[in-house]
Amino acid sequence: MFAVQFGRFGPPEVLTTGPFPEPHAGPGEVRIRVEAAGVAPVDLALRSGSSPSRDRLPLPHIPGVDAAGVIDEVGAGVTGAAVGEEVFGTVDVARLGGASAEYAVLKLWAAKPPAMPWTQAGAGGTSIETATRALDRLGVRPGVTLLVEGAAGGVGSVVVQFAIARGARVIGTARPENHAFIARLGAVPVAYGPGLADRIRTLTLGRAEPAPATLTPVAARADRPSDVARDDSASDVARVDPVSAVAEVDLASDVAREDRPSAVAGIDLALDVAGAGSLPELIAITGTPAAVLTLADFTGPRLGVGLSRGALAGEPDGWHGLAQAAALSEQGRFRIPVQAVFPMIRAAEAHAAAAQGPRQGKITLTARP
């Protein structure tokens, strides 16, 4: 098969496209003929050699953890999946890649709805899992107002849409040039940086409309194999490098507003996607570190803020979000924002584009020229 690959660490130019041995579906897996694959931050770190996981990465290596395509092999023990079905999901992230190729083996997947374009489906898996996991941990539910720090990127844009689908009102921070993009997703945009609390106070905030009952968060069930296929051995996707400890913090979506004397009126919860050092201000805005969660700031536990690291830290995962994303897409209420699409033969350009900021959504590779 053909595959994007690198035989040494370095800049995007180390990527080539050429022959590579075909993978095959193992127990609990399916193999797909890839239509599209996403480019994630972890792919850039592994390729450059800046990830601590480089020492356990065999070379040459195929980057990519997210992919979508048509099933052509079904592994032992898999039910609810058949050759010819269109699916999207992720590879076994313990392998640190394998998606940017003609064929890829998926460990976790869901049926791709016809309404979801390949370029979106191929880039969505890990962002969907991360967003779902964070919203579950925060306890986002109908009627709350959520502040998302870093709402325009691949994860932030999914968080915004999922939170709105749960019935929350969302305020999203971003650069001014991304405000129209955030507004199209359904959030109230506001500039990030010092003085955020004062800017939020100038906003007119109503209450969120409750979400339909069919869109409330549900865990994946064993009797719904066609919705989401999963394996309990799955590792965290958003962060492939484990940490030694994560503080146990009870997030307080139920903390009474009157118990938060310094809180900005109307803000119930805050999620830090950007990791830009804004946690002290988010704590001040919500009135308590228990109402704040970060995905990217490792100082969080020292401040009493939860740091979500996924399965590597023993957290419940968010893979049930794949089926929710499919259902919302069919209803016209969800999309994976894609900033740029490149054929796999131009993977070096795609990696270079992914390294540039600010971004609005994801970078996708297609298997077709």
Any idea where the domains of the chain sit in the sequence? 2-126+317-366, 142-215+243-308
Q: Do domains 2-126+317-366 and 142-215+243-308 have the same CATH topology?
A: no
Tokens of 314: 């023993």
Q: Looking at residue 203, what is its pLDDT?
A: 86
**Is the CATH code 3.40.50.1000 the one for domain 2-126+317-366?**
no
Q: Residue 132, exposed/middle/buried by CB under 10 A (0-12, 13-18, 19+)?
A: buried
- 142-215+243-308 CATH choice from 1.20.1740.10, 3.30.540.10, 3.40.50.720, 3.40.50.1100: 3.40.50.720
Cα–Cα dist 170/269, whole Å? 10
3-state helix, strand, coil in the chain (%, to 5): 30, 20, 50
Task: Report the chain's terminal Cα–Cα distance, integer Å.
Answer: 15
List, run by run, the mean pLDDT of 10-residue segments along the chain (369 residues): 97 97 97 97 94 91 97 96 97 91 97 95 95 97 96 94 97 94 96 92 64 43 34 31 30 47 80 95 96 96 94 85 96 94 97 84 89
CA 352 from centroid of its chain's CA atoms: 20
Q: Looking at residue 265, what is its pLDDT?
A: 74
- Smallest Cα–Cα separation from 13: which of 367, 248, 355? 355
State the sign of the Cα–Cα–Cα–Cα dihedral 114, 115, 116, 117. Answer: positive
Cα–Cα dist 168/85, whole Å? 34
